[in-house]
Amino acid sequence: MFRRITENDWELYRKYVDAFYHTDAVNAPVPVENYRVTFDEMLRSDAYVKGYIFEYEGTPCGFTLLSKTFSQEAGGCSVTIEEIYLEEEFRGKGLATAFFEWLKAQPNIMRLRIEVEDDNEGAKRLYERMGFELLPYLQMVIDRQRQP
């Protein structure tokens, strides 16, 4: 159902990331060169980022990208599902649900996080059914790429 991304997956990864960033699940695309930086980091180490390819009956059909930090609040490893994408015809087949259940069963993960656009009601309902809770605060960011 899913497997770690390997060095042979560059074209597949690029295809799925590009598709993800052209959906209404995100509010802005990222520079294409960031795809390669992320891919290379996944291959170099899993200290910050891990990627998985979803497969259905042996056919690649999507990807997910995870990042991890340490959370004092959670008492250990916090994993953020940065991106998750399945091709339209493979949605509703339990692939994402199985992946989330697998993540929740990992004993070293103390917290799972996922971002969702405020107006993406379908995704919010799906994630709430999977056990995610809406956080009562905003996050703030400084992105070097967006600085003037």
Give the start-to-end residue ranges of the domains of the chain: 2-146
Query: How far is it, in rounded angstroms, from Cα 129 to Cα 50?
Result: 24
pLDDT, tens only, 98-142: 999 999 999 999 999 999 988 889 889 989 999 999 999 888 988
Q: Which two tokens stand for residue 61?
A: 């059909």
pLDDT (0 to 100) of residue 52? 98
> pLDDT above 90 covers what percent of the chain?
79
pLDDT (0 to 100) of residue 143? 84
Give the predicted TM-score (pTM) of the model: 0.91
What is the second-level CATH architecture of the domain 2-146?
3-Layer(aba) Sandwich (3.40)
pLDDT (0 to 100) of residue 146? 63
